[in-house]
Amino acid sequence: MEKLFRDHIEKIVAITDDEFKYIMSHFSLMNFKKRDFLIREGEPVKYVFWVVSGLLKLDYQDASGRQHVVAFAMEDWWEGDYHAFFNQSFATMSLQALENTQVLSMTLHDYNALCRNFPKMTYFFLEKANRGHISSQQRILELISTNAKERYDKLLQRYPILFQRVPHTLIASYLGVTRETLSRLTAQ
């Protein structure tokens, strides 16, 4: 696990063994069983997570009680309710394990300490934040300009593995269509 995380960091900044040890002291390893919640809507958000192994879904319940999948997160991805995390407020979304999942978790206190004391990690987080911002911008583009079939094709092309690991009802929710519409798209 440590090697995976170090590789993940070193894709952006080179670090020494001691620096890696120092970085790791800001994280905790946590294990969740399938269906466990890492974040529950309405509760305080203490952590952001980096997925060591397993699969998570981030979802949002609208005023009428309908669930919408906002994102999936697999190995090597960061996930969290960033609004609630950075504002130390209550979750507006839920983060749930779809498989037994192991994560590294970090509190805002540790995030700030790491940024304050170690500019390399500030730069690392800046890169991650910029990429996160970019992929959100791309998702917005897709939501406003493509239809469900186009979104389905793109998701399949980008993350074929998702279609083997995630129930199709959840993929339909992520694409903003019903399970029946997804079946029609899959059959084509």
Positions that interact with a copy of itself (CB under 8 A): 60, 62, 66, 68, 70, 82-83, 86, 92-93, 115, 119, 122-123, 125-126, 129-134, 136-141, 143-146, 176
CB of 85 to a copy of itself, least distance (A): 9
Q: Which CB, 14 or 187, lies closer to a copy of itself? A: 14
Locate 44 and state its tokens. 């305080």
Nearest to 29 by CA among 13, 59, 53, 9: 53
Closest approach of a copy of itself to the CB of residue 86, in Å: 6
* Pick 34 or 68: Cβ nearer a copy of itself: 68
Q: Which residue's entry shows tokens 């906002």?
A: 70
In eight-state DSSP terms, residue 106 is E
144 three-class SS: helix
Element (H, E) at 31: strand 28-32
d(CA 83, CA 86): 6
Query: Least Å distance between CB 26 and a copy of itself?
Result: 16
Q: How far is the CB of 149 from a copy of itself (least distance, A)?
A: 12
Name the minimum Å distance from CB 182 to a copy of itself.
15
Q: Select from 185, 166, 147, 180 the least CA-distant residue to 71.
A: 166
**Nearest CB to a copy of itself, comparing residues 53 and 70:** 70
CB 118 within 8 A of CB 60: no
Q: Which is nearer to a copy of itself, 100 or 170 (CB)?
A: 170
Indicate the residue among 33 and 68 with the shorter CB distance to a copy of itself: 68
